[in-house]
Structure 1
C-alpha cells in the first residue's frame, strides 16, 4: 500500500457524502450535464444518507431541470412529458416533495388547464421537453432558476 492510498477521516467522510454520478455521450461536443457539474453548496451540505428518497429525488430533479433550461433558446420553455400514457405534457411551474417518498409537479397542460402530478419516487419517470412559448411577446419562464437559487447559497 502506498502513501497515496491513505485518507484522513475527514476525506473519508466527505467521500461518503458525495453522490456517485456519471454520463457518457456519443457526441464529444455534447453540452455539460447535471451529472458532471459540482453539487451546489445547499445540496452538498447534507449527506445523501441523511436525506429521504423524496428530498434526494427532488434535489436532483431541480439540477436536471436547471441544466435543461440553460440549453434552451429564448423561444422555448420547459415542459414535462408523462411516460407510459397519453396524458400529454405539463408546463412546469413548480415542483415539491413530501417526505419520505412523494414528488409533486405543478403546472399547466397543453390547453392551459392547471395540472398537478403527485408521484411516488419509486415510480418516477420524467421526460423533459422543449416546447414553444405560449406567449411569444413575454420572456420565457425559467423555473429551474427559481428552483436552484436556494441551493447555490453557502
Structure 2
C-alpha cells in the first residue's frame, strides 16, 4: 500500500535529521537514534544551528537515553577517549558557538575537571559506574540537561 503524504509533510521530512542504528540483538534497549526528537529540538532546523549547538543537543539525548538504562546504584561518567585522562563524572555540559563543547565534573580522584573539546574532535564514551556510597540517589544529569534545553527553547521563542 502506498503511503500518501501532503507536500507539507514531505517537506517537513526532508528538514528532520536522519538517524539510524543496527544492533546484534532484537531485544536490545532502545537507543537515542530510535527515540523521537523532543519538540524543543525541532523548533529550530538543524541548518540554523551551529555545529556546537547541534552536537550539544544530540549529546544530551544520548546521555539521557543511557541514564534511563542504569540501575539505581549506578551513575554515568564520561570516558575521555584518545588519551590517558581517565573518566569525568558529568556535572555539566555547555557549548560555545560555533564549535566548542565543554564538559564539567570531577575525575575518579575527586579533582575538579573540565574538558574543552572541538566538535570536530568529539569522541565520547559513556560508562556506567557505581554511585558514591554517600549519595542516597544517583545523580541524573541527562534529565537536568533536557529541562535546560526546554528552558532555552522557550527563552528563544519569547525573544522571537
TM-score exceeds 0.5: yes
Q: Which runs of 4+ in 1 moved over 4 A?
A: 3-7, 151-154
In the TM superposition, what is the alpha-carbon distance from 1:12 to its structure 2 partner?
3.6
2:132 aligned with 1:134, yes or no? Answer: yes
Conserved? CA contact 1:40–1:151, under 8 Å:
no
What per-residue deviation string (whole Å, max 9, x for no partner) do you get for residues 103-129 of structure 1?
Answer: 000000001111000000000000000
Q: If the length of structure 1 is used for normalisation, what is the TM-score?
A: 0.91
In the TM superposition, what is the alpha-carbon distance from 1:6 to its structure 2 partner?
6.7
In the TM superposition, what is the alpha-carbon distance from 1:79 to its structure 2 partner?
0.2
Q: Flag the 1:12–1:119 CA change in 2: closer, same or farther, 3 A.
A: same
SS in 2 for 1:23: coil
Q: Flag the 1:16–1:84 CA change in 2: closer, same or farther, 3 A.
A: same
| Aligned partner of 1:123 among 114, 118, 121 | 121
Structure 1 residues 1-150: aligned runs within 5 Å: 7-8=6-7, 10-150=8-148
Q: Flag the 1:119–1:102 CA change in 2: closer, same or farther, 3 A.
A: same
What per-residue deviation string (whole Å, max 9, x for no partner) do you get for residues 29-82 of structure 1?
Answer: 100011001100111111011110000000000000000000000111000011
Q: If the length of structure 2 is used for normalisation, what is the TM-score?
A: 0.88
Gaps of 5+ in 2: 155-160
Distance (Å, rounded) in 1 between the aligned partners of 2:136 and 2:52? 33
In the TM superposition, what is the alpha-carbon distance from 1:4 to its structure 2 partner?
5.6
- Note the aligned Cα RMSD (angstroms): 1.8
SS in 2 for 1:107: strand
Higher helix share: 2
SS in 1 for 2:145: helix
